[in-house]
Amino acid sequence: MQCVLGLQRLEVLPHSKALVGMYPGAPFLQFGTFSIMKAMILAAGKGTRVRPLTYDLPKPMIPILGKPVMAYLVEHLAQHGVTEIMVNVSYLHDKIEEYFGEGHQFGVQIGYSFEGYTNDAGEVVPQPLGSAGGMKKIQEFGGFFDDTTIVLCGDALIDLDLEAALREHRRSGALASVITLEVPWDKVSSYGVVVSDDDGRIRAFQEKPAQGEALSNCVSTGIYLFEPEVLDLIPSDRPFDIGSELFPLLVEQGLPFYAQKRQYNWIDIGSVKDYWEVLQSVLMGEVAQLHVPGTEIAEGVWTGLNTSIDWSGGTRIEGPVYIGSGCRIEAGATIIGPTWIGHGSHVCSGAEVVRSVLFEYTRVLPDVLLDEMIVFKDFSVDRAGEMRHVSDDASIAWGNARDRRSQRRAEVPPARYATQ
């Protein structure tokens, strides 16, 4: 789901009026600016609702404008001075770790906590501990959470004013705070529902209730502010979830647990349909601060390096369209935006690509129509979320642009519907 609200920026107080000692024992930077929080990015899930993209990618690595969604989060944290970031990983963890390393290229420090084990056959087996259980493991290992920590789901784009959120968290004396937004009532079953009083104190929390049972349409956005004492409530001997277990426990014990209603841009990639809609909005320029890369060679048409476009034979490209580096567009092809074509792809003569997303090295074969589709390796997904494997299609529609043969390979990968 995509929730885009008007952005409201709150100014940081000048040094002479800065807050001092809002939370007992909380350290502040010299000269009275706000303390620098630590951060935790939740990245251990399998992302089953975003398959087939997550057959080969962990959900935080799904690209927006060619860059993993988690990279935007790390950059946003760095811009707000949050430079110590822990990430819990499990499923396809190596892809996250290889891309981000220890964070030096982002100007931050990144540490990882792997959740899983190696079996007797030497195979690495993911075994997530739940969002709260993952934090408990980190705390018991090295005591990382010794200051206010912002916790973020690794699969959403945000432009939240972190200083303003921290300021309100400390003003309220909260042990835990949840950043919330209102969503349409028919969407509440996809989120944790928050019920709070006039002061923002949370009186009830429902994890993904049925629409008829929801007590509110104010939902958690998966952004939390925790004090270290919250970790004491999390058991060590089993998986434990923030939304379904920790938050109800905070309510039950009457602890200072608050909701913050803020105006900011929140783009949640909950499903393949959401992903398609997000990319359409981004390419249309509807999401602030996200700009199409490359060189604009014609109005609304951007290309990467060394792209070959044959404009003869009635080739038609209507923006907004991005064509990645090393792509080949043959004469007579048609591309209608919003469309993203990943690097190394090949659109053959007579093919039509309409409002679609092609991942890297996709070959669209001659006279084929791809209309509102996502093509990822051997899979395609339409706008409604229906998934097909290339072998399911009697007519040859797409293939691997690195394969020089005119016919696609006949074999079907045996693990195409595997659980991981």
pLDDT in tens, 43-58: 888 767 767 777 778 8
Three-state secondary-structure class, residue 177: strand
Q: Go through the domains of the chain in sequence order and give each one's CATH number.
A: 2-272 (3.90.550.10), 292-400 (2.160.10)
| Nearest-angstrom CA–CA distance, 351 and 333 | 5
The whole-number average pLDDT for the span 14-32 is 32
pTM: 0.79
pLDDT digits (tens, 9 = 90+) for 340-383: 999 999 999 999 999 988 988 888 988 888 888 888 887 877 77
Please state, for a pLDDT cut of 90, what percent of the chain lies above it: 28
The whole-number average pLDDT for the span 378-397 is 72
One-letter amino acid of 13: L
Distances from the Cα of 3 to the Cα of 160, 182, 266, 398, angstroms: 13, 9, 6, 33
Give residue for tokens 């841009």: 265
Please state, for a pLDDT cut of 70, what percent of the chain lies above it: 83
Region at 25 (left for phi over 0; alpha for psi -120 to 50; beta for the rest): left
Given a cut of 90, whether residue 34 has pLDDT beyond it is no
Q: Which of 95, 208, 261, 377 is catalytic?
A: 208
Question: In the chain, helix, strand, coil percent, each to 5?
Answer: 25, 30, 45
Is-contact 360 378, C-beta < 8 A? no
Mean pLDDT rounded to a whole number for the chain: 80
pLDDT digits (tens, 9 = 90+) for 134-175: 999 999 989 899 989 999 988 888 888 888 889 899 998 999
Q: What angle do CA 357, 380, 331 make, to 5 degrees?
A: 55
Is-contact 365 400, C-beta < 8 A? no
208 catalytically annotated = yes
DSSP bridge partners of 157: 267
